[in-house]
Amino acid sequence: MKPRFIRFAGVAGALTLALAVTGCSGSGSASGSGAAGKASITFWGWAPGYEEAVKAFNAGHPDIEVTYQTVQPGAKGGYQKMLNAVKAGNAPCLAQVGYETMPSFAAQGALEDVAEHAAPSKSDYQSAAWNAVSLGSAVYGAPVDTGPMALFYNKKLFDSLGLEPPATWAEYREAGKKIHASDPKRFLSSPYLDYDYAGLAWQAGADWFGVDNDAWKVSMASAENKKVADYWQGLVEDGVISSAPMYDQAWYTGLGNGNIATVVGAVWQAGVIKGGAKQGAGQWAVAPMPQWEKGDKKVGNAGGSATAVLKGCKNTAAAWEFAHWLSTDKDAFGKLIEKASLYPAAGDLLYLPQLKADPYFGGQQIYDVFATASPDVDPEWTWGPLMPSTVADLNDGLGKAWTGKGTIAQALDHAQDTTLTEMRKQGLATAP
């Protein structure tokens, strides 16, 4: 099939973008109408708790039957399986897709516009989450969860050194020096990679992608991004950054024994820290993300996903009904918090009883910090159309930079160059 073009507005609503894509409409999804006119749709995902949610929905919706099928997490094969199914014309109606991957699916013609069903529900969701599933007037799914960021810190250690949670990045740097000076084994956490690092840029207004005169603009090497890169490079040069890779056993050990004193991370990091660093129970707390300018209230985001409607779905009304229910039903989402530590994209769910004080964090109601932060996430952040390859190239450079083999700024330059090359290779319009 010849390449076709889709045209959609940029996330700010003022720009339009023409993309050459190679997606095919296919023969349609197997999800459609079941016996006696009953709507039948299939949903692919991997999050714990989704299967139970589907059972609860089916029990309360006799006119719609949802079949849940577990697939590998997106980056581990799930996304490719979905794209292959779309090309073959036998994709499910619904699939779990990370926000960062939605533009990639759109660029490949793999998503179905459900705006006619979804538009009235826009106000149910946080702005940044809604923008992550919509392109211009098109809506491609329901936001499920978000990843607003904050500062996780070892309160016991901070108190012992007379330190307060830093309100600014300048204060964070000074705190790092004092922590390391107190014991050469003590550090700040890193190395941040891919979407964790993106959240740091997001907060600073250091965009990675945008649109300019109907073409993709890549700005990973911009002055704003260099500011963020140079700041973290400075912490590397200060010697206050831990060499333990995030999510490595050495990282968990450092969190547990106090040798890694901070993590700047998304809300879901609470479950990661709690589960992997049990020795630190009662020692950790959460504070707002440090700011570039004192008094600001800007927040980055790392993570979040949607229930996307895939191309060829025959019953988009039923697909949207389930997707919206999954994201907004209090009982169903409460169980997703318990099972998968998901943090709701729906504004009315930010104070669910499952988001309660946790003894691990000294009894602090940490989710109040994230509920306050969520509205301050910039809704205009744009992901690019080739994020899997973009972050692979970025991670290669970041991994070297954190160990002193190159710089973070060089990693961003490299990722921008390789992304632009691949965009042009695939026929995507790019701005100078």
Q: Tens of pLDDT along 92-116?
A: 999 999 999 999 999 999 999 999 9
Q: To 5 degrees, how large is the angle CA 416–CA 419–CA 422?
A: 150
Of 165, 344, 180, the C-alpha closest to 264 is: 165
Average pLDDT over every residue of 27-41: 63
Q: What is the mean pLDDT of the chain?
A: 91
Tokens 């300048």 found at: 170
pLDDT at 33: 56
Looking at the DSSP assignment, which residues form a beta bridge with residue 97?
Answer: 306
Distance of CA 254 to CAs 160, 247, 300, Å? 17, 11, 25
Q: Verify that 290 and 344 share a domain, yes or no.
A: no
364 within a domain of the structure (yes/no): no
Q: Verify that 208 and 185 share a domain, yes or no.
A: yes
- In this prediction, residue 136 has a pLDDT band, given cuts at 50, 70 and 90, of confident
- Rounded Cα distance between 394 and 330, Å, is 38
244 within a domain of the structure (yes/no): yes
**pLDDT beyond 70 at 392:** yes
**pLDDT beyond 80 at 8:** no
Q: Verify that 312 and 263 share a domain, yes or no.
A: no
- In this prediction, residue 19 has a pLDDT band, given cuts at 50, 70 and 90, of very low
Q: Which residue has the higher pLDDT, 28 or 117?
A: 117
Q: Verify that 54 and 94 share a domain, yes or no.
A: yes
Number of structural domains, the chain? 2
**pLDDT beyond 70 at 17:** no
pLDDT at 32: 57
Q: Verify that 9 and 135 share a domain, yes or no.
A: yes
Q: Verify that 285 and 318 share a domain, yes or no.
A: no
Q: Verify that 121 and 268 share a domain, yes or no.
A: no
375 within a domain of the structure (yes/no): no
432 within a domain of the structure (yes/no): no
**Dihedral angle at the C-alpha atoms of 133, 222, 294, 280, nearest 10 degrees?**
70
Q: Verify that 78 and 133 share a domain, yes or no.
A: yes
Of 118, 37, 64, 59, the C-alpha closest to 308 is: 118
Exposed (0-12), middle (13-18) or buried (19+): which is 203, by Cβ within 10 Å?
buried
Give the other-Cβ count within 10 Å of 387's Cβ: 24
User: Domain of 179?
Assistant: 147-300+381-425
- Are the C-beta atoms of residues 130 and 338 closer than 8 Å to each other? no
pLDDT at 12: 31
**pLDDT beyond 80 at 413:** yes
Per-residue pLDDT reduced to its tens digit, 223-270:
999 999 999 999 999 999 999 999 999 999 999 999 999 999 999 999
Q: Peptide bond before 344: cis, by omega within 30 degrees of 0?
A: no
pLDDT at 50: 97
Looking at the DSSP assignment, which residues form a beta bridge with residue 263?
Answer: 152
Q: Verify that 17 and 61 share a domain, yes or no.
A: yes
**Domain limit, last residue, from 316, 340, 355:** 355
360 within a domain of the structure (yes/no): no
End-to-end C-alpha distance for the chain, whole angstroms? 29
Per-residue pLDDT reduced to its tens digit, 191-200:
799 999 999 9
pLDDT at 28: 42
| CATH code of the domain containing 391 | 3.40.190.10
Among 170-174, 338-342, 364-368, the minimum mean pLDDT is found in: 338-342
Q: Verify that 128 and 170 share a domain, yes or no.
A: no
**Phi, then psi, of 257 in degrees rounded to 5:** -95, 5
Of 177, 174, 99, the C-alpha closest to 382 is: 99
251 within a domain of the structure (yes/no): yes
Q: Verify that 206 and 333 share a domain, yes or no.
A: no
Q: Is the pTM of this model over 0.85?
A: yes
246 within a domain of the structure (yes/no): yes
Per-residue pLDDT reduced to its tens digit, 260-313:
999 999 999 999 999 999 999 999 999 999 999 999 999 999 999 999 999 999
Per-residue pLDDT reduced to its tens digit, 314-361:
999 999 999 999 999 999 999 999 999 999 999 999 999 999 999 999
173 within a domain of the structure (yes/no): yes
Q: Verify that 86 and 202 share a domain, yes or no.
A: no
